[in-house]
A and B are shown apart, each in its own frame.
Chain A
Amino acid sequence: MMALLMGGLVGVVALTSILTATALGIWFERKLSARMQTRLGPTIVGPFGLLQPIADFLKLLQKETLIPDGADRLLFVVAGPFCIFLALATAAFVPISPDTGLGLDSGLIFVVAFGAITVIPIWMAGWASRNKWALLGGMRAVAQAVSYAVPLVLAALVPVLLAGTLSLDGIVAAQQGFHWFALWPTFPGLPAFVLYLGCLLAEANRIPFDIPEAESELVAGITTEYTGMRFGFFYLAEYVHTLVGSAVAATLFLGGWDGPIAPGLHWLVAKTLVLYTVIYWIRWSFLRLRADQLMSLCWRYLVPAGLGLVFAAAALAQVMP
């Protein structure tokens, strides 16, 4: 009983901290994108506009939520919360410090699985909206997510082979002492890191792979018929997915909580922030790829590259102690 209560308390603390981090991440992205466009970004709400995400949240809460006539009500309503649940659940598996961690033998499988299942609520939203724009977005999302899951897993296999374990704690432990996989061994490590980041962009529907929600083409893609807080779920889920995905990438390739001096949570936060910035820097600089170009990039270039990297990592793991 006590354990259950403790677990619940930890869960609440963890959720609150992740959502706060996401709100700060939204603020940071808006300020960053504004500076990249030589403008100011939010400045009015709160000091330096820090309360802007709260204002957006309150605005979304008080909007009229409607369900289109003829839409599949169950799927329509369930898609949003399901999406954010998956995004948040992945965060549980990321080892945040040397002492805590779930201690699962196969944490990576859960992370990849949760990331892959995300396509289901996205497709549900596209199908249930009874809207051609949403349908096109949903179909593109399925094609993209299913395809890019393959090089994602292949890239994630490189640290697994180098560390010899599927457990995320084990992978971080193998990188202790500044032996981050992205830096050493540089040959499969760095290209695998870049490949993983690219596939993370695709899984999180970020430019240049954001065709499911390409609002200059598909009005708002899968979220066309969503209003108010139902839209808020998808919006929030995107940012949480990006944040948690950056944390997972930092765990796999950049050593997680490891650092040259005083390893701990702050190193993980710093690395996540750096990756988050890079992802949004890419987002605000590039245009989006067309659907067929995206698919051909995946299957003709990324999958063979991933396979090659996995073979190289396996060979290296045999040779190295």
Chain B
Amino acid sequence: MTLRALLVTLRNVFRRPVTWEFPRSVRPRPERYRTGFALLRDEHGEELCIGCLACEKICPSAILHVKAAPKRESAVTGKKRGWAEDLTIDTVACLGCELCVQVCPTDALVMTRAPERPADHREELFLTMAKLYENGLAREHGWATGTKLMGMQEDEDKKKKRKDKEVAA
């Protein structure tokens, strides 16, 4: 029934086109959509990043570079804590694996739902610390933070049991 192909094509003429005319119209993106990066501040405006370098160590592409600053007191709590002097992400080689978000102990590094990864100039793909903090304020964040991801994979009971076991050992 070779002519069946003609009927299939004809039938599809009358279906609604599935094209999204980007960038005039953008398809609805799910909650967990992730593409760019941002650094966050806490509710008092102080940087959450403590310069622990966990993200730099875990990145498989080695695109995160963190320069830790010497410990000094926090303006909010008065206690000594770590800081990051500089944190840059070269998203040219980013795999989008979300491991850096997962390992962050203070939920400072998150992914955003914008901007789109493709850029017009190579410099736009190299995110400086200033750009990251600007993204933190200007861009819509992705759903995932370190706490949420860890919580999804290991619930509170298990975490408590593990911590108890480590303390006992």
Consider the complex of A and B and state whether they touch directly, i.e. have CB atoms less than 8 Å apart. Answer: yes
Distance, CA A35 to CA B13, complexed state (A): 5
B10-25 CB mask vs A (1 if < 8 Å, else 0) is 1011011111010000
Q: Which residues of A contact B8 (CB under 8 A)?
A: 285
Q: Which residues of B contact A285 (CB under 8 A)?
A: 5-6, 8-9
Q: How many residues of A contact B (CB 8 A)?
A: 14
Q: Which residue of B lies closest to A208 (CB)?
A: B2
B98-119 CB mask vs A (1 if < 8 Å, else 0) is 0000000000000000000000
Q: Quick one: which of B2, B5, B17 contacts A35, CB cutoff 8 A?
A: B17
Give the Cβ gap from B15 to chain A, nearest Cβ, in Å: 5
Q: In the complex the two chains form, is B17's CB within 8 Å of A39's CB?
A: yes
Q: In the complex the two chains form, is A39's CB within 8 Å of B19's CB?
A: yes
Q: In the complex the two chains form, is B5's CB within 8 Å of A36's CB?
A: no
Q: Which residues of B contact A282 (CB under 8 A)?
A: 6
Distance, CA A281 to CA B6, complexed state (A): 7
Q: In the complex the two chains form, is B6's CB within 8 Å of A40's CB?
A: no
Give the Cβ gap from B26 to chain A, nearest Cβ, in Å: 16
Q: Which of A169-206 contact B (CB under 8 A)?
A: none
> Does chain B have a CB within 8 A of A34?
yes
Q: In the complex the two chains form, is B9's CB within 8 Å of A36's CB?
A: yes
Distance, CA A40 to CA B21, complexed state (A): 9
Q: Which residues of A contact B12 (CB under 8 A)?
A: 35-38
Give the Cβ gap from A232 to chain B, nearest Cβ, in Å: 27
Distance, CA A39 to CA B10, complexed state (A): 13
A15-58 CB mask vs B (1 if < 8 Å, else 0) is 00000000000000000101111111001000000000000000
Q: Which of B49-79 contact A (CB under 8 A)?
A: none
Q: In the complex the two chains form, is A38's CB within 8 Å of B6's CB?
A: no
Distance, CA A34 to CA B18, complexed state (A): 11
Q: Which residue of A lies closest to B20 (CB)?
A: A40
**Most central of B5, B9, B19 by chain A CB within 10 Å:** B9
Q: In the complex the two chains form, is A36's CB within 8 Å of B13's CB?
A: yes
Q: Which residues of B contact A231 (CB under 8 A)?
A: none
Distance, CA A256 to CA B15, complexed state (A): 34
Q: In the complex the two chains form, is A34's CB within 8 Å of B17's CB?
A: yes
Question: If the complex has contacts A35-B13, A37-B12, A38-B15, are A43 and B6 also in contact, measured as CB distance less than 8 A?
Answer: no
Give the Cβ gap from A221 to chain B, nearest Cβ, in Å: 23
Give the Cβ gap from A197 to chain B, nearest Cβ, in Å: 13
> Does chain B have a CB within 8 A of A233?
no
30 A-B residue contacts at CB 8 Å?
A32-B13, A34-B17, A35-B12, A35-B13, A35-B17, A36-B9, A36-B10, A36-B12, A36-B13, A37-B12, A38-B12, A38-B16, A38-B17, A38-B18, A39-B17, A39-B18, A39-B19, A40-B17, A40-B19, A40-B21, A43-B21, A281-B6, A281-B9, A281-B10, A282-B6, A284-B9, A285-B5, A285-B6, A285-B9, A286-B2
Those 7 A-B pairs whose CB atoms lie nearest each other, nearest first: A285-B9, A285-B5, A40-B19, A36-B9, A35-B13, A39-B19, A38-B15
Beyond A38-B18, A40-B17, A281-B6: 18 further Cβ-contacts under 8 Å? A32-B13, A34-B17, A35-B13, A35-B17, A36-B9, A37-B12, A38-B12, A38-B15, A38-B16, A39-B17, A39-B18, A39-B19, A281-B9, A281-B10, A282-B6, A284-B9, A285-B5, A286-B5
Residues of A bordering B, CB below 8 Å: 32, 34-40, 43, 281-282, 284-286
Residues of B bordering A, CB below 8 Å: 2, 5-6, 8-10, 12-13, 15-19, 21
